[in-house]
Structure 1
Amino acid sequence: MRPLRRAAATAAALVTSALVLTACGSPGAGGPDSAAGKVEGRVTFQTWNLKANFKKYFEGVISDFEEKYPGTKVTWVDQPAEGYPEKLSADAAGGTLPDVVNVSPDLAYPLARAGLALDLEKAAGKYRKEYLDGAWESHRMPGMTGVYAFPWYLNTGPMFYNKELFSKAGLDPRRPPTSYDQLFRDALTMARKSDRKIAMLAGTPSIEDFGRYGVRLMNARGTEFTFNEPAGVELLEHYKKLYAAGALDSQALTAQAESAGRKFQQQSVAMNPGSAHDLENFKKEAPGLYRHIGITDAVNNTGKANMYVQGLMVNAQSKVKPAAVAFAHFVTDRKNQMAFAKEVTIFPSTKGSLDDPYFTKEDGTDATRVRVAAAKSLKTAVNYTPVLLSDQMKTVLRNAVAKAVQGKQSPEAALDGAVAECNRLLKTA
């Protein structure tokens, strides 16, 4: 199963979007956004690296759909994770895009721009109330009206913290930071009380952190990045102070997720994002840390955690549009999403599902500790990362943050330069 974090797929999808647009025409080329008509015909359904581990589950869902709609037949195609964006672009250019396609928001964007993604707000708006607000909105594309995929499975990262390190610094381990102001205060306190031996964090802010801080990342039309606004500059000013005080790990400027995790495991960093898998590793590899693990939401000023989301897009040029919409909805309905969530550590995007005891009751195991914490935060979570932010743009931002944190450039100048370069890249994409 491919990870929910979007990583390299973003850049590949945006690079190939030019081919998609050239091959398929302008937005709306797929005809009217209508799914009216009899649910019948052969539906092609494409997923992304799911068949190896979940064949039985999907075959069951398909069988149930075909039984509910006797005039339908579903052909399931599963593509490997490697090269998936390029495969989508090639299918789009060749007119062989499946009827129902597994996409993340960044992969849906060029297809929606090309008129190949059905606007489900028009074609299937009656189902909108079934999904969490943030999940439904995650496939709304900048500069366009409408929503271009049914939200499917979700994830989010809880934050782990070391209760013992909090106590030694005179901080209340029962009250980890929930706002950035509290995080900055506590981080400076921890660095001071530990004589700079313990840092609160091991990484610099990413675009998600700017979003959680309350920074407006793009303008309303989705035509320009705006993360250099005063709130963005303010965030970097704080990180610059943390770095100077030893509250940000000395290797934070070059840290990867794996190295940050090791720092936390070695108990030289007090807070770090993670997953149920990490918690199991702590129990085996770092029992001293495991005894003092606390679990909380990632810090934010917005009241909303970050959401990683997958969706099911319907091909606007499908010849069996009513059946394709019906099937995409069927796969993402409450019953089938709930069943899938019990097969793997993901979360349903349907309203009410996260209130199920499976997501609210702990049984003393690591898996339920993390599952309950994550499910609680997902109810109001949003996808902060703009669909237009490519990996190249992420590198631009990361370099600007490093210069500002080290004092090589003012936070304002660093972000102004990053926004200018990202907007230049946006225009040439």
Structure 2
Amino acid sequence: MRISRRAAAATAVVVTSALALTACGSSTGPDGADSASGKVEGQVTFQTWNLKANFKDYFEGVIADFEKKYPHTKVKWVDQPAEGYPEKLSADAAGGTLPDVVNVSPDLAYPLAKAGLALDLDKAATKYRGEYLPGAWQSHEMPGLPGVYAFPWYLNTGPMFYNKELFRQAGLDPDKPPTTYDQLFRDAVSMARHSGRRTAMLASTPSIEDFGRYGVRLMNDRGTEFTFNEPKGVELLRHYKELYAAGALDSQALTAKAESSGRKFQQESVAMNPGSALDLENFKKEAPSLYRHIGITDAVNNTGKANMYVQGLMVNAQSKAKAAAVAFAHFVTDKENQMAFAKKVTIFPSTKGSLDDPYFTKEDGTDTTRVRVASAKSLKTAVNYTPVLLSDQMKTVLRNAVAKAVQGKESPRAALDGAVAECNRLLKTG
């Protein structure tokens, strides 16, 4: 998959034909145990998502090392373009040509797991579970299904940038940015008041991740209904409505995209904004006055856990070389290979202990390292807040409901009730 925070965050929905895969059946035996044991031999087809152009040498090296370790195996690497990847997965699954090991995000794994085409690694590879961060392993749990359906691979998250000078001007401690939502709301109102409404704290309305970080239960335990309209969700939206009325939320927040929010921050009309190492480099070149006062902190949350964007390697439950497929997926995602990959691109390993490596803990004065260290620290306990069942269409429903509530066109309760009802309708109709 494309390696960037925004790309990792984006949800790609497998088209409806994938949901018809139940006819393909499952290779799970009557006792519930998957037949993934046995000799590691045979040919394994390994499919990635837009990685060959930049990382050909790395993956060819990993494959050569695996084939040396297991001389009776052969790995065929296939890299698909980013455009149309979900549809390609869907077509392969429906046609019985799904590769043995497949690069997936949790939302792409779900319909395959539901159809019995993704191997349950809690059964087939449980001995490896302890090698990974708990949140990473659990990220490929699927609503309504027991088990885990992909090895966790690379992770990402984003720090929050803030403008220390704007904090000072508002009488706020520039070395103590808000860490909880209550602190954020308090500081935001104070900043708007001290600046005569010229400076807003934020440039965007809450997304589903904000509801998760606030502590809202997003779905029921069975994964059959959305629940973000519960009292805590209404409370969050009420606070944002108050921020908007106080001038603490930028006036264009209702229609803002990530790029426009970033411009507001760069222009120093907004005090906080999420970002990446690339943004920090841009600030240095394009906004030196901002760069001199830049602060880096974790995204605000009430749970003590940052949001995690995660990629995984799924094993085809119908693979004819299942033992080799499991061994290869584990090999690619083991500590040594993940660490080597992380040093080639701005991603983070999902293996335990990797984030304690000096590469992720020691500053060297560069912008890239500043962000890497801050992000790595938060990933140790991070979770994926976005439900795997939340489609792009559902995100639009939520975004529209939030806009109505923030503007006062509907009460927060009515807006979220309507959004949940529509999302649940979409969930049931597929």
Q: Same fold (TM over 0.5)?
A: yes
Match of residue 342 from structure 2:
341
Amino acid at match of 2:132: Y
What residue is the counterpart of 1:372 in the other structure?
373
Matches within 5 A, 1:106-255: 106-255=107-256
Structure 1 Cα separation of the partners of residues 232 and 18 of structure 2: 32
Shift of 1:7: 7.7
1:24 aligns with 2:24: yes
Q: Provide the C-alpha distance between the structure 2 equivalents of 1:178 and 1:4, rounded to a whole number of angstroms.
A: 21
**Following the alignment from structure 1 to structure 2, what is the Cα–Cα distance between the partners of residues 147 and 128?**
10
Residue 318 of structure 2 aligns with which residue? 317
Please tell me whether the aligned partners of residues 50 and 79 of structure 2 are also in contact (alpha carbons under 8 angstroms).
yes
- Change beyond 3 A, Cα 1:291–1:297: same
- CA gap 1:295/1:352 in 2 versus in 1, 3 angstroms: same
Deviations along 1:195-230, one digit per CA (max 9) or x if unpaired, are: 000000000000000000000000000000000000
Residue 48 (structure 2) aligns with? 47
Which consecutive residues of structure 1, in runs of 5 or more, have no partner in the other structure? Answer: none
Change (3 A) 1:227 1:201: same
Q: Secondary structure at the match of 2:142?
A: coil
Mapping 1:236-315, distance limit 5 Å: 236-315=237-316
- 2:15–2:90: 8 Å Cα contact kept in structure 1? no
- Matches of 1:298 and 1:327 in 2, distance apart? 35
Where does residue 403 of structure 2 map in the other structure? 402
Q: Measure, in 2, the Cα distance between the counterparts of 1:240 and 1:312.
A: 41
Contact 1:29 1:116 in 2 (8 A): no
Structure 1 pair 415–160 and aligned structure 2 pair: CA distance change class (3 A)? same
Deviation at 1:11, TM superposition (A): 5.1
Opposite residue 298 of structure 1, the aligned amino acid is: A
Shift of 1:35: 1.4
- Structure 2 unaligned spans of 5+: none
Paired with 1:324 and 1:139, the residues of 2 have a C-alpha distance of 18
1:356 corresponds to 2:357: yes
State whether residues 188 and 248 of structure 2, in contact with CA within 8 Å, keep that contact through their aligned partners in structure 1.
yes
Aligned equivalents of 1:296, 1:304: Cα separation in 2 = 13
Q: Offset at 1:15?
A: 3.4
- CA gap 1:10/1:16 in 2 versus in 1, 3 angstroms: farther
AA at the equivalent of 1:363? D
1:246 aligned partner, one-letter code: G
Q: How many residues align?
A: 428
Alpha-carbon distance in 2 for matches of 1:189, 1:212: 22
Tell me by how many angstroms 1:16 deviates. Answer: 4.0
The range that moved more, 366-375 or 4-13, is 4-13
In 1, the alpha carbon distance for the partners of 2:178 and 2:47 equals 42
How many angstroms does 1:20 deviate by? 3.1
SS for the counterpart of 2:204 is coil
Displacement of 1:100 in angstroms is 0.3
| Kept in 2: contact 1:135–1:151 (CA 8 A) | yes
RMSD between aligned residues: 1.5
Q: Kindly tell me: are residues 27 and 157 of structure 1, through their superposed partners in 2, closer, same or farther at Cα, counting changes over 3 Å?
A: farther
Report the 3-state secondary structure (helix = DSSP H, G, I; strand = E; otherwise coil) of the residue aligned with 1:398.
helix
Structure 2 match to 1:385: 386
Q: Secondary structure at the match of 1:362?
A: coil
Shift of 1:25: 3.9
Alignment of structure 1 residues 7-86 onto 2, 5 Å: 10=11, 12-13=13-14, 15-21=16-22, 23-25=23-25, 28=28, 32-86=33-87
- The structural deviation recorded for 1:13 is 1.2
Preserved contact between residue 26 and residue 116 of structure 2 (Cα < 8 Å): yes
Matched residue, 1:425: 426
Name the SS of the counterpart of 2:145 in structure 1.
coil
Identity of paired residues, percent? 85
Q: How far apart are residue 9 of structure 1 and its match?
A: 6.5
Deviations 1:23-68 (A, max 9, x none): 5247959995131100011110000000000000000000000000
- The alpha-carbon deviation at position 14 of structure 1 amounts to 5.2
CA contact 1:27–1:114 (8 Å) conserved in 2: no
Change (3 A) 1:194 1:404: same
Q: TM-score, normalised by structure 1?
A: 0.97
Task: Please say if residues 150 and 313 of structure 1, whose CA atoms lie closer than 8 Å, have aligned partners that are also in contact.
Answer: yes
